[in-house]
Structure 1
């Protein structure tokens, strides 16, 4: 051999395959179309959330005529105590107030001398507003009884308002707000779709090369594990780019228009964890998809052979999306989010919602990271022993036994 003969390093071969996957897929119409459509949907969703948040306003608008103005502050406080937001508005007189109720500008109008609750509505009194007004009516009657007994209603109300219960929790409560809930669900959807689409792309790519005999040419110059690793890394890089663009644009837009009001640090933390869990989840599952896809030679057989691990991805997503919104501290989801099979779907949802102990997040990362080397060895063995065998489906046990 001449002195100019240069052999490609192992990771140089992996990089070459990965680069080919990136350049091919980034320029593909499918990548551009899915990214564009997803961005449009995300922008529309953000604007709708902003519109709904900006137009929600108060739960009810109540007008006060004449002497009932003395009840304005009391009604606001009472409504807040029963979980309702009431907007109050003074009207010139009862006749004008009735016109506004009839026109729909007011949900209710308080009339009378302020010593009792008399309310004018167009048709029916809202149930939640009825609750607030009933409580207020009870307070007015209580104050009157205190006066009749020679007491001071102001002093009694002050003492009552200062009365409190002493809560002593065994564990510190976890704080979950609505925006964190939405963020967690979006994180779960992004991870799920990325694993689903890009993971299956790995499997389909393996079968495509195997059925077209391209793999025979490639394996004449590089080793099977290098081809598999390069394909996984290349498609993973494309998926990461796509998710980064979608997640970055979506988060930036949501914060710019005010649909999300969480701190920037919390938003950045969510994006970082999203990237970490995409990489861990994609590498782990794609290694399995690539190995299983090597067992078959036809595209129509891909779905069946990768269905078992695909069901784990779907199950993790369904558990998270169905349980966490109503019960963020659910023990089952908490435990499963640290199990490597489900962690890539469940842990990013929990982290986006907040309240996850640092040790749980760290343990989940360590367990998945520790599983990956074992998957590299196992998947590499199956891939090496099956990818060159065309025709009938190769049994998994045969692929594991072959030398």
Structure 2
């Protein structure tokens, strides 16, 4: 018995080609959609191109967001051990890794600086400061470190001249500090989490815009080519609609999971995502879940609206309102989230069906979604899908067999 949905050429078209059983029928339709999408030229070309674009974007952000060198190699004379120690300690405080090496004399230091072996060489020290040799220029962070050490040494020299003990004073000064009482602690990873939320919204938005209309286009294509008449001779309308939604949704989920599996580790590796790996992985999993919920909502509507027309030229007329339903919450989310991640408007939209799949994963990634709000949003959106299955299924069944002019929504709902 054939596993395909096409009639066997050796048998009359009225013979059943699909074994009985809803699960078996549904699986064959899902497999047909998955195979078709994976084999399509657009999928095979665009998926690797998007992966490359994602990696290039993360790499460019890591490259151009760097503020300057974080490690410098400095040469000092063997007699300048205390200065070397002070440079290392001061650099560590300021976020600069100072690696010190010994030079034989000032000429040796200048020679190594010219050759690029050293970033800088301290050729003279004294109460009036440090003489530092560089090849071209000295960045602001390194300048601040050298200046702090020079002033520290000048202070020690002045204390010695006045009869004080510089070591005792250094110990006392080092022990002094501030005792901080923070009233409203901030998340040290807040900026990275907000950035991850924006990226999450963008990926879900693009995936919904690509694969949502693809459902409507597939329905219209089958209607215009009369393939749907052959399919409905052996399967029920709800099975055909559900199989198409599940099949295309599986391909879309695979693609989004691929982007997450590649982009998140690369972002962590390059430092673009400056947050714990567990938080990034959790956000990625939540994003996949919310994409499934969003695709379920929108794909059912796209399938139903696609069944109302019989030509691809008419597709825009019925799908444009749905596309706008995707665009509007996305624009609201990325506009408000960076400046106000605790926005009350975003909290409300994160629960409402059709806006929640785009807003809630942004809030989860940003760390501003409460647990109870996430649970409420999932419950509301799952319930909406259950209701929509019946409504969209009725529209699809009432319109998919009718070709020619556009079918009105009321006519499709009344059809038996």
Q: Which deviates more, 340-349 or 42-51?
A: 42-51
Name the counterpart of 1:107.
119
**2:157 is equivalent to residue 136 of structure 1:** no
**Alpha-carbon offset, residue 204 of structure 1:** 0.8
Tell me, what secondary structure is at the counterpart of 1:112? strand
Give the TM-score of the pair, scaled to structure 2: 0.75
User: CA contact under 8 A between 2:126 and 2:154: conserved in structure 1?
Assistant: no
The equivalent of 1:345 in structure 2 is 358
Q: Which moved more, 1:193-202 or 1:243-252?
A: 243-252
Question: For the residues of structure 2 that align with 1:256 and 1:133, how far apart are their CA atoms?
Answer: 31
**Residues 142-153 of structure 1: pairs in structure 2 closer than 5 A:** 142-148=155-161, 150-153=163-166
- Tell me: CA distance 1:297–1:186, structure 2 relative to 1, closer, same or farther (3 Å): same
Paired position in structure 2 for 1:94: 106
Determine if the alignment matches structure 1 residue 302 to structure 2 residue 315.
Answer: yes
Question: Aligned partners of 1:386, 1:188: CA distance in 2, in Å?
Answer: 34
Q: C-alpha distance in 2, partners of 1:341/1:136?
A: 59
Query: Which residue matches 1:58?
Result: 70
Mean Cα deviation higher: 206-215 or 301-310: 301-310
2:293 to 260, 280, 283: 280
Structure 1 window deviating more from structure 2 (371-380 vs 203-212): it is: 371-380
Partner of 1:213: 226
After superposition, give the CA deviation of every residue in 1:82-127 in whole Å (9 maximum; x if it has no partner).
Answer: 4444443332221121122223333332232243233222333322
The corresponding residue for 1:79 is: 91
The structural deviation recorded for 1:246 is: 5.0
Which of the numbers 294, 302, 319 marks the counterpart of 1:289?
302
Deviation at 1:378, TM superposition (A): 3.4
Q: 1:31-63: per-residue Cα shift (whole Å, max 9, x none)?
A: 33344444555677788899999xx97354333
Relative to the length of structure 1, the TM-score reads: 0.77
- What residue in structure 1 maps to residue 30 of structure 2? 18
CA drift of 1:323 comes to 6.7
Q: Alignment partner for residue 168 of structure 1, among 138, 157, 182?
A: 182
User: C-alpha distance in 2, partners of 1:114/1:184?
Assistant: 52
**1:282 offset after TM fit, Å?**
1.3
- Taking the TM superposition and a 5 Å limit, the aligned residue runs for 1:210-359 are 210-248=223-261, 269-317=282-330, 329=341, 331=343, 335=347, 336-352=349-365, 357-359=370-372
1:239 is paired with a residue whose SS is helix
Q: CA RMSD, aligned part only? A: 4.3
Question: Do 1:202 and 1:289's aligned partners in 2 also have CA atoms closer than 8 Å?
Answer: yes
Alpha-carbon distance in structure 1 between the residues aligned to 2:219 and 2:50: 26
Q: 1:31 aligns with which of 24, 43, 47?
A: 43
Decide which of 371, 376, 400 is 1:387's aligned counterpart: 400
**Conserved in 1, the CA contact under 8 Å of 2:341 and 2:366?**
no
Evaluate the alpha carbon distance shift between residue 260 and residue 394 of structure 1 in structure 2; reply closer, same or farther with a 3 A threshold.
same
- Asked if the contact 1:64–1:111 (Cα under 8 Å) also holds between the matched residues in 2, the reply is yes
1:210–1:297 Cα contact (<8 Å) kept: yes
Q: Deviations over 1:270-318 (max 9, x none)?
A: 5533432232121112112222223332223334532333244345555
Size of the alignment, in residue pairs?
396
Q: Judge conservation of contact 1:17–1:234 (CA < 8 Å) in 2.
A: yes
Q: Distance in 1 between matches of 2:98 and 2:368?
A: 31
